[in-house]
């Protein structure tokens, strides 16, 4: 795919403008710069997928009337993660109003005065509040049509004045609720693994939260690029809030299936850290977002449950899941080592977990 131009130089020039993809759209471009060109953009599905959807699970507000209902939810979770690595939850306890306000807040951040936004622009991986475009801009083969505000919300709750004024209150409120929902989902996942319900929590999987709040501007040439190219998440789990635009797809049996927007639902997917500690019992599944071909921006917020950098807690396959027939497939590592590896390679479509395999 080597195009004959000084890619590194064009990438740097774009980065230094600190305007993100949205800034290019605002400037009125009608063709996307070649740093965004992907060699193969197959947006169409080779197989009619209209009948296939990721499962939707009713969490009943997190209050289960009986052990039987709880057991049936756990069975659904187990089934969904084994088949798809993805599921949606409804009646998850987060009010619709909070979800709306969160989307509005993110949109407000990205659409505010670009001079204010620029003050947050950074690529420092230890920085707890930052905005940039394409976290892997310097390492990926091709850039994506997306800008992101990243905020570390737990275990240390940020000082209110460190968060962008336009969305600080809703981010704090949303995160508080996300932590609670995260805890419930880790309990269900622990039980689905046959472990005691607090097992994953005791491994600190539910302790740390980073919000990746994305803005996918309309793309003038959506067939040449992606909103986010195919990848798995580095997290233990991710809980995604998406708006009404659509474009998210999940890889299932070698086909891309759409995840149509459901205003009431949140999407849960398993990340690479969970795959590593479950020794492949639960796997992280590839997903992507098509470049936005509409007139309006697409907004989403991905709640990544994973430690922030630096963190030295060591993770390897959970001993209780291992046996003579199921020997460890991964060596021990830390979130910090994994994050550095991810950043160095960019989203390139191969599993970054291979690097940690024994």
Q: Which of residues 268-287 bind ligand OGA (CB under 6 A)?
A: 287
Smaller CB distance to ligand OGA: residue 147 or 233? 233
Q: Which residue in this structure is represented by tokens 């953009």?
A: 41
To 10 degrees, the CA torsion angle through 165, 166, 169, 175?
Answer: -110
Residue least distant from Ni ion (Cβ) = 233
Q: From the CB of 269, what's the least distance to ligand OGA, in Å?
A: 8
Smaller CB distance to ligand OGA: residue 200 or 289? 289
Q: From the CB of 287, what's the least distance to Ni ion, in Å?
A: 6
User: Which residues lie near Ni ion (CB under 5 A)?
Assistant: 233
Smaller CB distance to ligand OGA: residue 179 or 248? 248
Which of the choices ligand OGA, Ni ion, none does residue 248 contact, using the CB cut-off of 5 to 8 A by kind?
ligand OGA
Q: Return the residue of 89, 248, 285, 353 that touches ligand OGA, per CB under 6 A.
A: 248
The reply to whether 214 sits near ligand OGA by the rule CB under 6 A is yes
For the beta carbon of residue 188, count every other beta carbon within 10 angstroms.
24
Smaller CB distance to ligand OGA: residue 74 or 142? 142
Q: From the CB of 84, what's the least distance to Ni ion, in Å?
A: 14
Q: Return the residue of 81, 192, 212, 265 that touches ligand OGA, per CB under 6 A.
A: 212
Q: From the CB of 97, what's the least distance to ligand OGA, in Å?
A: 21
For the beta carbon of residue 126, count every other beta carbon within 10 angstroms.
11
Closest CA to 167 of 210, 104, 240: 104
The reply to whether 242 sits near ligand OGA by the rule CB under 6 A is yes
For 55, the token pair is: 């499962």
Distance between CA atoms of residues 255 and 294, nearest Å: 23
Determine which helix (DSSP H) or strand (DSSP E) holds 12, and give its type and residue range: helix 7-17
Smaller CB distance to ligand OGA: residue 38 or 214? 214
The alpha carbons of the chain give a radius of gyration, in whole angstroms, of 20
Smaller CB distance to ligand OGA: residue 206 or 240? 240
CB crowding 322-336: b at 16 or more within 10 Å, else e? eeeeeebbbeebbbb
Are residues 356 and 279 in contact, defined by beta-carbon separation less than 8 angstroms? Answer: no
Q: Which of residues 313-352 bind ligand OGA (CB under 6 A)?
A: none
3-state SS of the chain: helix, strand, coil percent to 5?
Answer: 35, 20, 45
Eight-class DSSP state of 139: T
Cα–Cα distances in angstroms (integers) from residue 279 to residues 202, 231, 293, in the given order:
18, 19, 39
CA angle, corner 350, sides to 321 and 291, nearest 5? 120
Strand order in the sheet with 287-290: 226-231, 287-290, 248-252, 255-258
Q: Which of residues 293-312 bind ligand OGA (CB under 6 A)?
A: 300, 302
Count of chain residues binding ligand OGA (CB under 6 A): 11
The reply to whether 240 sits near ligand OGA by the rule CB under 6 A is yes
Q: From the CB of 60, what's the least distance to Ni ion, in Å?
A: 27
Eight-class DSSP state of 172: H
User: Which residues is 131 bridged to in the sheet?
Assistant: 121, 149
Q: What is the largest CA-CA distance in the chain?
A: 64
Q: From the CB of 248, what's the least distance to ligand OGA, in Å?
A: 4
The reply to whether 250 sits near ligand OGA by the rule CB under 6 A is no
For the beta carbon of residue 314, count every other beta carbon within 10 angstroms.
9
Distance between CA atoms of residues 54 and 41, nearest Å: 23
Smaller CB distance to ligand OGA: residue 214 or 252? 214
Which of the choices ligand OGA, Ni ion, none does residue 242 contact, using the CB cut-off of 5 to 8 A by kind?
ligand OGA
Q: From the CB of 61, what's the least distance to ligand OGA, in Å?
A: 25
Smaller CB distance to ligand OGA: residue 191 or 286? 286
The reply to whether 110 sits near ligand OGA by the rule CB under 6 A is no
Smaller CB distance to ligand OGA: residue 191 or 272? 272
Interface contacts to ligand OGA, rule CB under 6 A? 212, 214, 228, 233, 240, 242, 248, 287, 289, 300, 302
């Amino acid at each position: 795919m080597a195009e004959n131009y000084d890619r590194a130089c064009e990438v740097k020039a774009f980065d230094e403008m600190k305007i993100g993809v949205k800034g290019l759209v605002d400037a009125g471009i009608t063709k996307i710069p070649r740093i965004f060109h992907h060699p193969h953009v197959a947006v169409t599905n080779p197989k009619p997928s209209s009948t296939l959807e990721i499962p939707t699970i009713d969490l009943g507000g997190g209050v289960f009337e009986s052990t039987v209902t709880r057991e049936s939810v756990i069975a659904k979770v187990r089934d969904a993660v084994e088949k798809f690595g993805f599921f949606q939850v409804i009646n998850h306890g987060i009010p619709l109003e909070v979800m709306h306000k969160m989307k509005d807040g993110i949109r407000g951040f990205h659409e505010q005065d670009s001079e204010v936004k620029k003050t947050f622009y950074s690529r420092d991986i230890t920085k707890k509040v930052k905005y940039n475009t394409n976290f892997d801009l310097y390492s990926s083969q091709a850039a994506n049509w997306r800008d992101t505000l990243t905020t570390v919300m737990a275990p240390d709750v940020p000082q209110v004045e460190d968060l962008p004024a336009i969305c600080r209150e809703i981010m704090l409120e949303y995160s508080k609720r996300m932590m609670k929902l995260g805890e419930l989902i880790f309990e269900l996942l622990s039980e689905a693994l046959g472990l005691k319900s607090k097992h994953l929590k005791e491994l600190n999987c539910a302790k740390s939260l980073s919000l990746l709040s994305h803005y996918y501007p309309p793309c003038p040439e959506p067939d040449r690029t992606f909103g986010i190219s195919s990848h798995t998440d580095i997290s233990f789990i991710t809980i995604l809030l998406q708006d009404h635009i659509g474009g998210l797809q999940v890889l299932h049996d070698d086909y891309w299936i759409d995840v149509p927007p459901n205003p009431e639902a949140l999407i849960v997917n398993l990340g690479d850290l969970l795959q590593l500690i479950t020794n492949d019992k639960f796997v992280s599944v590839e997903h992507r977002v098509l470049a936005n071909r509409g007139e309006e921006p697409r907004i989403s917020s991905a709640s990544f449950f994973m430690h922030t950098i630096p963190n030295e807690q060591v993770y390897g396959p959970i001993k209780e899941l291992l046996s003579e027939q199921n020997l460890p497939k991964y060596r021990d590592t830390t979130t910090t080592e994994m994050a550095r590896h991810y950043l160095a390679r960019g989203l390139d479509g191969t599993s970054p977990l291979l690097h940690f395999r024994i």
